[in-house]
């Protein structure tokens, strides 16, 4: 199974997103993904994480036992590595990866993502007002931070129910057979700076369970967004926001609102610091405490290797049709403004 022809085929398919959309993302992928979730979703722990662990151990063991023969016949070793990479590349794109080349979510929703500074300020004000309102609704005290009373398992169940609710409004987000789990690699994910990931080989949505609970509903919604067939990070950030904001639970609504607001404030801190100061200053003290809770959490795990992990992921995203790389996470701002402009939220 040659690697080069596969790469050329994928690049060719990248120029035909309508084909990918019709025949893969809305064709065979829903069948493949649901089959994998039926196969692995019932397991109470992450099978995919254990699979990665086993494969890593096997690879290290192989190198340890065969290092002499590898040195004697390096060409044979590199041929085997190349063959393995070819198989992984094929399976990755068959099971999930071709979704990187589907029609962008903004086209599916019929929205535009361009926006003016005034539009950014307006959405920021709207989210600040909503965040303050939801915060006071929950705490009855503007100075208290929000403490989510649910376990991670309850959050995953409520995330699934949120997807069942939104499919009436947006059938393209239909989600069947839940497979949403806490990663056994939550601690390494924290040191790497990630909130979760989708295992493309088992279709398990993996969540970093160490992240403060008030942020987990948005992360869970984001990872399920990958499961329903959207690979672009801005798209799944937006799906996570929309599904979580439509949830009947006020804690989920608060998580969604504060997450979206964080992206808008991040943009404003660069483009208009004065507006940023005004908006951030108008937040309830309790909302600020939740943001500080997140900052303190991530700061506690900062390490010299995190920028390297982010750089590698940046390269991976750019190689898979996300030109902005890791900055594509922030592109959710355009989707938020475009959706609000057309539908309101």
Instruction: Inform me whether the pLDDT recorded for 306 exceeds 70.
Output: no
Same domain, residue pair 51 and 139: no
Would you state the pLDDT for residue 328?
Answer: 46
Same domain, residue pair 115 and 97: no
Least trusted range by pLDDT, from 246-255, 292-301, 313-322: 313-322
For 96, the domain range is 3-101
Tell me which long-range contacts 169-177 makes (C-beta under 8 A, separation of at least 24): 169/246, 170/109, 170/242, 172/108, 172/228, 173/225, 173/228, 173/239, 173/242, 173/243, 174/228, 175/224, 175/227, 175/228, 176/34, 176/37, 177/34, 177/37, 177/38, 177/41
Q: In the chain, how many domains are there?
A: 2
Instruction: Inform me whether the pLDDT recorded for 137 exceeds 90.
Output: yes
179-196 mean pLDDT: 94
Query: Which burial class, exposed, middle or buried, applies to 140 when counting CB atoms under 10 A from its CB (0-12, 13-18, 19+)?
Result: exposed
Same domain, residue pair 90 and 125: no
Same domain, residue pair 79 and 29: yes
Tell me the per-residue pLDDT of 19-63, one tens digit each, with 9 for 90 and over.
999 999 999 999 999 999 999 999 999 999 999 999 999 999 988
Token pair for 265: 């404030």
Same domain, residue pair 331 and 187: yes
Same domain, residue pair 200 and 320: yes
Same domain, residue pair 223 and 81: no
140-164 mean pLDDT: 94
Domain boundary among 84, 101, 118: 101
**Which one is predicted more confidently, 109 or 9?**
109
Same domain, residue pair 57 and 144: no
Same domain, residue pair 134 and 279: yes
Would you state the pLDDT for residue 302?
Answer: 86
Residue linked to tokens 């959207």:
230
141-164 mean pLDDT: 94
**Angstrom distance (rounded) from CA 222 to CA 230:** 10
Reduced to 3 states, what is the DSSP secondary structure of residue 196?
A: strand
The per-residue pLDDT of the chain, averaged, comes to: 90
Percent of the chain at pLDDT > 70 equals 92
201-to-52, 189, 205, 237, 251 alpha-carbon distances in Å: 10, 18, 11, 21, 32
Same domain, residue pair 49 and 130: no
Q: How confident is the model at residue 331 (pLDDT cuts 50, 70, 90)?
A: confident
Same domain, residue pair 139 and 70: no
Tell me whether strands 196-199 and 204-207 are parallel, antiparallel or unpaired: antiparallel
**Angstrom distance (rounded) from CA 71 to CA 57:** 21
**Angstrom distance (rounded) from CA 51 to CA 216:** 24
Same domain, residue pair 66 and 204: no
Instruction: Inform me whether the pLDDT recorded for 327 exceeds 70.
Output: no
Query: Which burial class, exposed, middle or buried, applies to 171 when counting CB atoms under 10 A from its CB (0-12, 13-18, 19+)?
Result: exposed
Domain boundary among 74, 101, 128: 101
Q: How confident is the model at residue 70 (pLDDT cuts 50, 70, 90)?
A: confident
Domain boundary among 101, 126, 144: 101
Residue linked to tokens 């990479």:
85
């Amino acid at each position: 199974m040659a690697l080069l022809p596969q790469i050329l085929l994928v690049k060719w398919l990248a120029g035909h997103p309508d084909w990918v959309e019709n025949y893969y993302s809305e064709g065979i992928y829903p069948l493949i993904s649901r089959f994998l979730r039926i196969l692995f979703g019932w397991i109470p722990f992450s099978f995919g994480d254990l699979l990665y662990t086993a494969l890593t151990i096997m690879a290290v063991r192989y190198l340890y036992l065969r290092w002499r023969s590898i040195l004697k016949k390096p060409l044979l070793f590199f041929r085997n590595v190349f063959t393995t990479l070819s198989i992984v590349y094929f399976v990755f794109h068959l099971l999930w990866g071709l979704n990187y080349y589907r029609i962008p979510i903004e086209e599916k929703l019929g929205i535009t993502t361009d926006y003016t500074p005034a539009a950014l300020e307006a959405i920021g004000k709207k989210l600040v007002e909503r965040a303050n309102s939801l915060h006071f609704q929950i705490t009855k005290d503007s100075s208290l931070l929000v403490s989510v009373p649910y376990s991670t398992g309850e959050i995953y169940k409520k995330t699934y129910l949120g997807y069942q609710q939104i499919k009436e409004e947006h059938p393209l987000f239909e989600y069947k057979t839940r497979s949403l789990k806490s990663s056994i690699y939550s601690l390494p994910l924290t040191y790497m700076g990630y909130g979760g990931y989708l295992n493309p080989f088992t279709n398990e949505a993996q969540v970093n369970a160490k992240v403060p609970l008030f942020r987990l509903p948005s992360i869970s919604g984001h990872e399920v967004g990958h499961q329903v067939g959207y690979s672009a990070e801005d798209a799944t950030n937006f799906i996570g926001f929309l599904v979580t904001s439509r949830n009947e639970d006020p804690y989920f609504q608060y998580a969604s609102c504060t997450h979206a607001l964080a992206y808008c404030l991040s943009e404003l801190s660069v483009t208009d610091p004065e507006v940023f100061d005004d908006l951030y200053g108008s937040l309830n003290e309790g909302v600020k405490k939740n943001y500080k809770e997140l900052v303190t959490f991530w700061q506690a795990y900062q390490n010299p290797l995190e920028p390297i992990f982010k750089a590698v992921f940046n390269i991976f995203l750019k190689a898979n049709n996300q030109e902005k790389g890791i900055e594509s996470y922030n592109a959710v701002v355009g989707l938020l403004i475009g959706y609000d402009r057309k539908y309101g939220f």
